Amino acid sequence: MNGLVRLLIVGTAFVWAGAARAEVKMDAIEYKDGQTALEGVLAYDEAAKDARPLVLVVHEWWGLNDYAKTRAKQLAGMGYVAFAVDMYGKGVVTADPKRAAELAGPLRKDRAMMRRRIASALEAVKGNARVDATRVAAIGYCFGGTVVLELARSGAPVAGVVSFHGGLESPAPADAANIKGKVLVCTGADDKSVPMTQVAAFAEEMRAGKVDYQIQIYGHAVHAFTNPASGNDPSKNVAYNEKADRRSWEAMKAFLGELFK
């Protein structure tokens, strides 16, 4: 495990009542979307006796790598059951941007497939004895942020979704009327991949759909600002921003606390 991932694991100290000494266990869960074999990772406090709220965690366009799994582990340490979702296929992960674009592209173009794929993940774990299926949320990073918004737009029974530096555009903005839960968007003010024109259009979509939504905009932050592996050169439009990372995580904690109080 590299130092950046270790930093993420020890960060964020919110604790669910009684979970201060949580011993997080990570279980691989195999499931399918049609003929596509998938494998996610379920993170939970092994000592917990009661069913807990479920938080789906959707990876960046790289696939289900250590970053998404680490975020799931953090959430489990906070007292939730977290499921790091696989959107591509069992073992399909890359560090090559060209390959990542090839993997994410078909799902971005086919929103019905994207919705079906994330719905299959929810279906795979909602019956788990550790999960309170009446209390479900989802968070996602970059590509994953788009995915959780599509989950909400599909009308899925989720209490809320959080998009971290995710794409906000929708080919069917009227679908916002289907959203049953709350929405939190955390985006960078200088993110050229998600410009302020897109943020404004998203706000109008949410307003027209009568959605309970929030948009947090972080100054001087570009794309992928929550991931230390993004580097430190904002001129590339991909860079880590410690303040935006910390502030957006705190916003998410408050948001989940409101959902599941």
Please, which residues bridge with residue 161 across strands?
138, 183
Model confidence pLDDT, tens digit, residues 128-147: 999 999 999 999 999 999 99
Q: What is the mean pLDDT of residues 164-188?
A: 98
**Residue 62 pLDDT greater than 60, yes or no:** yes
pTM: 0.92
Neighbours of 104 (CB within 10 A): 23
pLDDT score, position 6: 42
Q: 206 near 213, Cβ under 8 Å?
A: yes
Neighbour order of strands in the sheet with 36-45: 24-33, 36-45, 81-85, 52-58, 131-141, 160-164, 182-188, 213-218
Model confidence pLDDT, tens digit, residues 75-108: 999 999 999 999 999 999 999 999 999 999 999 9
**Residue 240 pLDDT greater than 70, yes or no:** yes
Q: Which residue type, as a one-letter code, is found at position 225?
A: F
At 22, the pLDDT band (50, 70, 90 cuts) reads confident
CA atoms within 13 A on the CB side of 42: 22
Q: Is 234 left (phi over 0), alpha (psi -120 to 50) or beta?
A: alpha
**Residue 15 pLDDT greater than 70, yes or no:** no
Q: What is the mean pLDDT of residues 186-192?
A: 98
Three-state secondary-structure class, residue 110: coil
Using a pLDDT cut of 70, give the percent of the chain over it.
Answer: 92
Which is more confidently placed, 13 or 232? 232
Range with lowest mean pLDDT among 4-8, 31-35, 62-66, 198-202:
4-8
**Residue 159 pLDDT greater than 90, yes or no:** yes
Handedness of CA 15, 183, 9, 68 (dihedral sign): positive
**Residue 197 pLDDT greater than 90, yes or no:** yes
Domains of the chain: 3-259 (3.40.50.1820)
